[in-house]
Amino acid sequence: MKYEENDPLLLMHFQEAIEQRAYAAGGGEFVAPAQRMADFCSNTISSSLPSCSYLPGIASSQMSDVLPKFIHTTLQEGLRSFGKKMHGYYINEAVILAAESRTSSPVRIPRDSETLQHPQIKNLYPCGEGAGYAGGIVSAAMDGERVAGSVGLVLSK
Ligand SMILES: Cc1cc2nc3c(=O)[nH]c(=O)nc-3n(C[C@H](O)[C@H](O)[C@H](O)COP(=O)(O)OP(=O)(O)OC[C@H]3O[C@@H](n4cnc5c(N)ncnc54)[C@H](O)[C@@H]3O)c2cc1C
């Protein structure tokens, strides 16, 4: 992966590149690339996979083809380390799927802290995950509630 260091959308391109690799590794149709945990840590392609509740299905893949090296090796170290601390954690029945890449947007749309409107565009209320104000169901709901309150205040005037 090659990136322009000063590109303000750098981390969005980074996220997109991982998603594209995961999509390709699963063979398309949103089938998720998968690897058993011990196989993941030893860079071995799993010859079989346990059943999984992910509905589009899973396909045995080499996760190093999907994840950037620093993420792949850090996860390998972390899983091995947890395995030493928690008996029964590090097993080959556990399956790793790629990639849970949705999180707070790496780019934040500015908004006024009082009115919650965009500083330059009146009546535009950046809100929730895509605007960079939430990173999950609860924080998005709470931000939505806050913004709805501000819109309600304006409408009631
Ligand atoms: C696979 C997956 C698993 C997840 N698991 C968890 C979890 O376990 N726990 C957790 O806390 N979070 C989880 N999340 C994250 C969570 O779903 C999001 O953080 C949350 O839904 C963000 O809420 P939101 O209202 O900000 O955005 P969204 O829920 O994305 O809502 C944005 C809405 O805007 C609509 N929209 C977009 N463009 C336009 C347009 N031009 N005009 C009109 N409407 C438009 C979209 O259709 C969508 O309905 C997961 C996300 C994914 C994808």
pLDDT in tens, 33-61: 999 999 999 999 999 999 999 999 999 99
Q: What is the DSSP string of 38-55?
A: HHHHTT---SS------T
* Pocket lining: 50 vs ligand 1, CB cutoff 6 Å: no
* Pocket lining: 126 vs ligand 1, CB cutoff 6 Å: no
> Which residue puts its alpha carbon closest to atom 51 of ligand 1?
102
Whether 28 and 76 map to the same domain: the answer is: yes
**What is the percent of the chain with per-residue pLDDT over 90, rounded to a whole number?**
79
Which domain covers residue 115, as residue numbers?
A: 104-157
pLDDT in tens, 133-148: 998 899 999 999 999 9
Whether 92 and 111 map to the same domain: the answer is: no
Q: Three-state DSSP class for 58? A: strand
How far apart, in whole angstroms, are the C-alpha atoms of residue 149 and residue 30? 37
Q: Is residue 150 part of a domain?
A: yes
* Pocket lining: 102 vs ligand 1, CB cutoff 6 Å: yes
pLDDT exceeds 90 at position 154 = no
Whether 85 and 126 map to the same domain: the answer is: no
* Pocket lining: 140 vs ligand 1, CB cutoff 6 Å: yes
pLDDT in tens, 85-134: 999 999 999 999 999 887 778 889 999 999 999 999 999 999 999 999 99
Whether 108 and 93 map to the same domain: the answer is: no
Whether 20 and 83 map to the same domain: the answer is: yes
